[in-house]
Amino acid sequence: MTKIAIILGSTRPGRNGEAVANWVYDIAKHRDDAEYELVDIAEYNLPHLDEAIPPSMGQYANAHTKAWAAKIASFDGYVFVTPEYNHSTSGALKNAIDFLYGEWNNKAAGFVSYGGAGGTRAVEHLRLIMGELQVADVRAQVALSLITDFVNYSQFAPASYHTPAVDTMLDQVVAWSKALSSLRRPIAA
Protein backbone atom coordinates (compact mmCIF):
# COMPACT_ATOMS: atom_id res chain seq x y z
CA MET A 1 0.00 0.00 0.00
CA THR A 2 1.23 3.49 -0.83
CA LYS A 3 2.33 5.41 2.28
CA ILE A 4 1.88 9.18 2.52
CA ALA A 5 3.26 11.37 5.32
CA ILE A 6 1.43 14.50 6.38
CA ILE A 7 4.36 16.54 7.67
CA LEU A 8 3.61 19.23 10.24
CA GLY A 9 6.18 21.86 9.32
CA SER A 10 6.12 24.18 12.32
CA THR A 11 7.66 23.85 15.76
CA ARG A 12 6.49 27.23 17.05
CA PRO A 13 4.79 27.27 20.48
CA GLY A 14 1.03 27.72 20.01
CA ARG A 15 1.38 26.89 16.32
CA ASN A 16 -1.68 26.94 14.06
CA GLY A 17 -0.18 24.12 12.03
CA GLU A 18 -1.16 21.43 14.52
CA ALA A 19 -4.89 22.04 13.96
CA VAL A 20 -4.35 22.27 10.20
CA ALA A 21 -2.31 19.05 10.02
CA ASN A 22 -4.87 17.19 12.15
CA TRP A 23 -7.66 18.43 9.85
CA VAL A 24 -5.78 17.16 6.76
CA TYR A 25 -5.10 13.85 8.50
CA ASP A 26 -8.79 13.48 9.49
CA ILE A 27 -9.78 13.92 5.83
CA ALA A 28 -7.04 11.55 4.63
CA LYS A 29 -7.76 8.71 7.04
CA HIS A 30 -11.26 8.31 5.55
CA ARG A 31 -9.70 7.42 2.22
CA ASP A 32 -8.72 3.89 1.17
CA ASP A 33 -6.17 4.68 -1.55
CA ALA A 34 -3.12 4.92 0.73
CA GLU A 35 -1.92 4.71 4.31
CA TYR A 36 -1.56 8.13 5.87
CA GLU A 37 0.55 9.11 8.87
CA LEU A 38 0.94 12.42 10.65
CA VAL A 39 4.63 13.28 11.12
CA ASP A 40 5.44 16.18 13.45
CA ILE A 41 8.95 17.53 12.92
CA ALA A 42 8.92 18.84 16.50
CA GLU A 43 9.02 15.25 17.76
CA TYR A 44 12.42 14.70 16.12
CA ASN A 45 14.18 17.53 18.00
CA LEU A 46 16.45 18.21 15.06
CA PRO A 47 19.13 20.78 15.86
CA HIS A 48 20.34 23.21 13.25
CA LEU A 49 21.88 20.98 10.55
CA ASP A 50 24.83 19.32 12.26
CA GLU A 51 25.98 16.61 9.85
CA ALA A 52 29.55 17.11 8.58
CA ILE A 53 29.04 15.07 5.40
CA PRO A 54 26.57 16.40 2.81
CA PRO A 55 23.17 14.64 2.89
CA SER A 56 23.58 13.57 -0.74
CA MET A 57 26.22 11.09 0.45
CA GLY A 58 23.69 9.34 2.75
CA GLN A 59 26.31 8.85 5.49
CA TYR A 60 24.63 10.12 8.64
CA ALA A 61 26.57 10.28 11.91
CA ASN A 62 23.95 11.41 14.40
CA ALA A 63 21.16 9.35 15.94
CA HIS A 64 18.59 12.12 15.37
CA THR A 65 19.45 12.21 11.66
CA LYS A 66 19.26 8.43 11.36
CA ALA A 67 15.82 8.37 13.03
CA TRP A 68 14.57 11.18 10.78
CA ALA A 69 16.01 9.47 7.69
CA ALA A 70 14.35 6.16 8.54
CA LYS A 71 10.98 7.85 9.00
CA ILE A 72 11.14 9.85 5.76
CA ALA A 73 12.46 6.88 3.75
CA SER A 74 9.43 4.83 4.80
CA PHE A 75 7.03 6.97 2.74
CA ASP A 76 6.14 7.12 -0.95
CA GLY A 77 4.90 10.70 -0.86
CA TYR A 78 4.36 13.71 1.35
CA VAL A 79 1.91 16.44 2.18
CA PHE A 80 3.72 19.41 3.70
CA VAL A 81 1.65 21.53 6.07
CA THR A 82 3.51 24.83 6.18
CA PRO A 83 3.08 28.25 7.67
CA GLU A 84 4.31 31.28 5.79
CA TYR A 85 6.96 33.23 7.66
CA ASN A 86 8.51 36.24 5.91
CA HIS A 87 7.34 35.11 2.45
CA SER A 88 8.77 31.61 2.90
CA THR A 89 8.32 28.36 4.80
CA SER A 90 9.40 27.92 8.40
CA GLY A 91 13.09 27.65 9.16
CA ALA A 92 12.36 24.45 11.11
CA LEU A 93 10.81 22.77 8.07
CA LYS A 94 13.60 23.90 5.76
CA ASN A 95 16.15 22.58 8.24
CA ALA A 96 14.35 19.22 8.51
CA ILE A 97 14.25 18.91 4.74
CA ASP A 98 17.93 19.82 4.42
CA PHE A 99 19.04 16.99 6.73
CA LEU A 100 18.29 14.40 4.02
CA TYR A 101 18.59 13.84 0.30
CA GLY A 102 18.12 10.31 -1.06
CA GLU A 103 15.19 9.63 1.26
CA TRP A 104 13.16 12.29 -0.59
CA ASN A 105 14.06 11.25 -4.17
CA ASN A 106 11.51 10.08 -6.74
CA LYS A 107 8.49 10.69 -4.57
CA ALA A 108 5.56 13.10 -4.76
CA ALA A 109 4.56 16.06 -2.63
CA GLY A 110 1.51 18.20 -2.08
CA PHE A 111 1.08 21.31 0.03
CA VAL A 112 -1.32 22.77 2.55
CA SER A 113 -0.30 26.25 3.59
CA TYR A 114 -1.59 28.96 5.87
CA GLY A 115 -0.80 32.61 6.37
CA GLY A 116 -1.95 36.15 5.70
CA ALA A 117 -1.91 35.47 1.95
CA GLY A 118 -2.78 31.79 2.30
CA GLY A 119 0.85 30.75 2.62
CA THR A 120 1.26 30.62 -1.14
CA ARG A 121 4.73 32.17 -1.11
CA ALA A 122 5.92 29.48 1.31
CA VAL A 123 4.70 26.85 -1.15
CA GLU A 124 6.50 28.55 -4.04
CA HIS A 125 9.76 28.24 -2.11
CA LEU A 126 9.02 24.62 -1.22
CA ARG A 127 8.37 23.82 -4.89
CA LEU A 128 11.89 25.02 -5.76
CA ILE A 129 13.38 22.92 -2.97
CA MET A 130 11.41 19.85 -4.05
CA GLY A 131 12.81 20.16 -7.58
CA GLU A 132 16.36 19.93 -6.25
CA LEU A 133 15.42 16.89 -4.16
CA GLN A 134 13.88 15.10 -7.18
CA VAL A 135 10.40 15.28 -5.66
CA ALA A 136 7.47 15.72 -8.06
CA ASP A 137 5.23 18.39 -6.59
CA VAL A 138 1.58 18.26 -7.62
CA ARG A 139 -0.40 21.17 -8.98
CA ALA A 140 -3.31 21.15 -6.53
CA GLN A 141 -2.65 22.87 -3.24
CA VAL A 142 -4.72 24.14 -0.33
CA ALA A 143 -4.13 27.74 0.78
CA LEU A 144 -5.71 28.74 4.08
CA SER A 145 -6.06 32.38 5.07
CA LEU A 146 -5.39 33.50 8.62
CA ILE A 147 -8.07 36.13 7.98
CA THR A 148 -10.94 33.96 6.73
CA ASP A 149 -10.08 30.40 7.90
CA PHE A 150 -9.10 31.26 11.48
CA VAL A 151 -10.98 33.10 14.21
CA ASN A 152 -8.74 35.81 15.71
CA TYR A 153 -5.86 34.42 13.63
CA SER A 154 -5.56 31.43 15.96
CA GLN A 155 -8.67 29.22 16.09
CA PHE A 156 -8.85 27.08 12.95
CA ALA A 157 -12.25 27.21 11.24
CA PRO A 158 -11.72 26.28 7.57
CA ALA A 159 -14.29 27.14 4.94
CA SER A 160 -16.13 24.05 3.70
CA TYR A 161 -14.84 24.44 0.14
CA HIS A 162 -11.34 23.51 1.34
CA THR A 163 -12.31 19.88 2.03
CA PRO A 164 -12.72 18.87 -1.63
CA ALA A 165 -9.51 20.77 -2.39
CA VAL A 166 -7.68 18.55 0.12
CA ASP A 167 -9.11 15.47 -1.58
CA THR A 168 -8.02 16.70 -5.01
CA MET A 169 -4.51 17.35 -3.75
CA LEU A 170 -4.39 13.90 -2.12
CA ASP A 171 -5.65 12.28 -5.34
CA GLN A 172 -2.71 13.82 -7.16
CA VAL A 173 -0.12 12.97 -4.49
CA VAL A 174 -1.22 9.32 -4.39
CA ALA A 175 -1.32 9.03 -8.19
CA TRP A 176 2.15 10.53 -8.62
CA SER A 177 3.56 8.51 -5.71
CA LYS A 178 2.39 5.32 -7.40
CA ALA A 179 3.64 6.45 -10.81
CA LEU A 180 7.12 7.15 -9.44
CA SER A 181 7.43 3.87 -7.53
CA SER A 182 9.45 2.15 -10.27
CA LEU A 183 12.13 4.87 -10.00
CA ARG A 184 12.71 4.50 -6.28
CA ARG A 185 15.66 2.54 -4.98
CA PRO A 186 15.92 1.26 -1.43
CA ILE A 187 17.94 3.52 0.83
CA ALA A 188 20.73 1.75 2.76
CA ALA A 189 20.12 1.86 6.49
What number is the average pLDDT over the span 141-162?
97
Q: How would residue 185 be classed by pLDDT, with cut points 50, 70 and 90?
A: confident
Query: Domains in the chain, start-ordered, CATH in brackets?
Result: 3-183 (3.40.50.360)
Band (8; pLDDT cuts 50, 70, 90): very high
Distance CA 150, CA 14 (A): 14
User: What number of CA atoms fall less than 13 Å from residue 11's CA on the CB side?
Assistant: 15
Distance CA 149, CA 172 (A): 24
pTM to 2 decimal places: 0.96
Average pLDDT over residues 160-167: 98
pLDDT, average across residues 1-19: 97
- Tens of pLDDT, residue by residue over 105-142, are 999 999 999 999 999 999 999 999 999 999 999 999 99
**Does the pLDDT at position 189 exceed 60?**
no
- pLDDT of 62 > 90? The answer is yes
Task: List the alpha helices (DSSP H) in 61-147.
Answer: 63-73, 91-98, 120-132
